Structure 1
Amino acid sequence: MASSPSWSQSMDAPRQYSKESMQQALQTRDHYDVYGLRFDSGKSTLRHGGETLLDDIATTLKNFPDWGLRIVGHTDASGSPESNRDLSLQRATAIKAALVDRGIEASRLSEAGVGEDSPIAGNETSGGKALNRRVELVRVTDSPEAKKLLKAMSDYMAAQTALSFAYDANLQVITNSDQKLGLASSGTVTLGRPDKVHTTRSGGFVDTEALFDGKTLTLLGKDVNKYTQVETPGTVDHLIDELKDKFGLPLPAADLLMTNAYDALMEGVYDSKDLGSGVINGTECDSLAFRKDDVDFQIWVAQGAQPYPCRLVISSKQVKGGPEYSVQIREWKSGSDVKLGDFTFNNTTGAEKLDINDLKGKLGDLPENFVVGEAK
């Protein structure tokens, strides 16, 4: 989880705790790093000495009954990443249990453990390691209205037997020199439930088309005039899962197309906000924001009888620089306004057939001179 700088993260600043500083940090920055809760090495049992601090946290939550709290455990880099992640979660769970014992409703508390993944200092010195061994308190919002509006969008999308739209997408990448670069593309989606879909996507480095007729998926690289076919009979939901999990080729705005879009989008969400109204392509929308451990996403949903998604922005929290993927929808149509057409592939250009693994590299947004690194 990304952390904003605070007084407790400076190697030179005194790590003095006060109840007032904690409340102010949670009110103004939604975030506070706690160092007064101690554990035995390699264990998740709280040592004696932190009772006053736990009492203060519980009292603060009682004084602000609309607050929820995310308890995130962090470790230094001693030990394996896997064991550190497990240990940090166990410690966060122990703190949650201690707050529940002090009268805080468990529904207001959530816990996470990120181990050594989010250091705020170097792990080369004992002082740096001490700073990294911390508990992060994050004030969270649980907006029933935001969830209600997102669920209404999901239900509306699932009820459409036919829909189509055009879209503009932007994929932001971070180079090794920390430069942010945006790769733009546009395309179309036509969906006939339960088992028909046709998509196109065109950008500076990609020009593709995908057709699914309920039995066979065809992927065509129009710029290279090559195609591949995969037998994957089933629904569009099944196809989306197969493409993502088996082949690493997600469809544009795939989560929005699924009949259980709400469940897919809300998995792992711990913070939800209704930000009020916004306007996308001249359409007044409800602006909703959600947070997960790995990503934040914001979605704009059209107001009125057709609550379709107008814009979706997904921001990474686990990659330096926080790259984003956004898709903006236009020319929305549903029901009888949609011309479904033919979902069967007709090889009118004499394209060469390849194995899917041979074609995958020619279907992505990144040009060949972009090499994906391990850390970025």
Structure 2
Amino acid sequence: MKRQARVFCLLIATMTLGAQAEDAPPADDSAPPLNPHVIDKLIDVGDYLRSLPKFEVNAEVTRDTVLDSGQKIQTGSRTTLKVAGHDRLYAKADGDTQTREFFYDGKHLTQYSPYLKYYTTVDAPATVSETLHKIEQHYGIQVPTEDLFLLGRDQAQIDALKSAIYVGPSYIKGTLCDHLAFRQAGVDWQLWITRADKPLPCKLVITTTDVASFPEYSAVYSWNLAPKISPSAFTFTPRKGDVAIPLKKASQ
């Protein structure tokens, strides 16, 4: 994701709850624009994710592309993210139009296109968070599902919110979640978090509001907090026929 991954916003929406979630009223326009309990939930889920020693998350993703005519075209992808500690990451996005893999071993990050057989490797900082920041700032590259590392990460992100409301309970893939909504200049976003001792994102929807057709990004997550991950999963080894190419900086 591009700019949407850096700014999270509140979608003030009317919601009809299912029969199993009728114990709570829908969001109220008269509610405080910045609900402190909602902001606390955002910070808590981000802190919890960054505290995990390892995890694997899979996501079903849809993304809108806006044509010159203004028509929206939706594409889909299946993403996988594996993380161990603060310095190991593997990510894959297998989509309708392209497939990309990312390998980070604490020292280097490699982006690989298995069908084109091209790969590029750059030196990387010592942590996942620093690496994600560097490759986007320097190279304009976003790793699939990197939004999860950004939730409630710093005060500047919280200060940028114009509103934060609690929409109500909602079921995502059979799991009871709390539906939160946020708004910031140019972007609305909604986050569903499991109602449990271990707060995990169930779903994320981001709407770009400063583009006429209001394109959306949506991801529905499935979590494994005790995955068996081989150490070799984070290191890229070229196969026969793979070709190394240079990675140009975004300004070039």
Q: Normalising by the residue count of structure 1, what TM-score does the alignment of the two structures yield? A: 0.55
Flag the 1:259–1:175 CA change in 2: closer, same or farther, 3 A: closer
Instruction: Write the distance in 1 (CA, Å) between the matches of 2:38 and 2:145.
Output: 20
Flag the 1:314–1:178 CA change in 2: closer, same or farther, 3 A: same
Instruction: Write the distance in 2 (CA, Å) between the matches of 1:267 and 1:317.
Output: 19
The question of whether the paired residues in 1 share the 8 Å contact of 2:110 and 2:236 is answered with yes
Instruction: Write the distance in 2 (CA, Å) between the matches of 1:289 and 1:264.
Output: 18
2:117 to 205, 225, 231: 225
1:294 to 186, 190, 194: 186
Flag the 1:306–1:349 CA change in 2: closer, same or farther, 3 A: farther
2:228 to 326, 331, 339: 339
Instruction: Write the distance in 1 (CA, Å) between the matches of 2:63 and 2:151.
Output: 25
| Pairs within 5 Å for 1:273-292 | 273-292=165-184
Matched residue of 1:246: which SS?
helix
2:65 to 158, 173, 176: 173
1:215 to 107, 129, 135: 107
Matched positions, count: 221
Flag the 1:291–1:259 CA change in 2: closer, same or farther, 3 A: closer
Counterpart AA for 2:149: L
Instruction: Write the distance in 1 (CA, Å) between the matches of 2:240 and 2:220.
Output: 31
1:246 alignment counterpart: 138
1:59 alignment counterpart: none
Instruction: Write the distance in 1 (CA, Å) between the matches of 2:107 and 2:36.
Output: 40
Q: Does 1:148 align with 2:40?
A: yes
Flag the 1:150–1:248 CA change in 2: closer, same or farther, 3 A: same
Greater strand content: 2
Instruction: Write the distance in 1 (CA, Å) between the matches of 2:240 and 2:191.
Output: 39
The question of whether the paired residues in 2 share the 8 Å contact of 1:279 and 1:285 is answered with yes
2:213 alignment counterpart: 321
1:312 alignment counterpart: 204
Instruction: Write the distance in 2 (CA, Å) between the matches of 1:264 and 1:350.
Output: 45
Counterpart AA for 1:352: V
Deviation at 1:357, TM superposition (A): 3.3
1:99-127 Cα deviation digits (max 9, x unpaired)? xxxxxxxxxxxxxxxxxxxxxxxxxxxxx
Q: Which runs of 5+ in 2 are unaligned?
A: 1-12, 14-28
Structure 1 stretches of 4+ with a deviation exceeding 6 A read none
1:22 alignment counterpart: none
Instruction: Write the distance in 2 (CA, Å) between the matches of 1:259 and 1:339.
Output: 25
Deviation at 1:344, TM superposition (A): 1.1
1:203 to 67, 74, 95: 95
The question of whether the paired residues in 1 share the 8 Å contact of 2:45 and 2:151 is answered with no
Instruction: Write the distance in 1 (CA, Å) between the matches of 2:210 and 2:138.
Output: 23
Instruction: Write the distance in 2 (CA, Å) between the matches of 1:171 and 1:236.
Output: 24
Deviation at 1:193, TM superposition (A): 2.0
Instruction: Write the distance in 1 (CA, Å) between the matches of 2:53 and 2:195.
Output: 20
1:69-125 Cα deviation digits (max 9, x unpaired)? xxxxxxxxxxxxxxxxxxxxxxxxxxxxxxxxxxxxxxxxxxxxxxxxxxxxxxxxx
Flag the 1:284–1:356 CA change in 2: closer, same or farther, 3 A: same
Q: Which runs of 5+ in 1 are unaligned?
A: 1-28, 30-65, 69-139, 361-376
Flag the 1:258–1:315 CA change in 2: closer, same or farther, 3 A: closer
Counterpart AA for 1:194: H
| Pairs within 5 Å for 1:49-68 | none
1:113-155 Cα deviation digits (max 9, x unpaired)? xxxxxxxxxxxxxxxxxxxxxxxxxxx6221221122122112
Instruction: Write the distance in 2 (CA, Å) between the matches of 1:251 and 1:299.
Output: 19
Counterpart AA for 1:156: Y
Greater helix content: 1
Matched residue of 1:217: which SS?
strand
Q: Normalising by the residue count of structure 2, what TM-score does the alignment of the two structures yield? A: 0.81
Instruction: Write the distance in 2 (CA, Å) between the matches of 1:150 and 1:259.
Output: 6
Matched residue of 1:255: which SS?
helix
- What is the Cα-based RMSD across aligned positions, in Å? 2.3
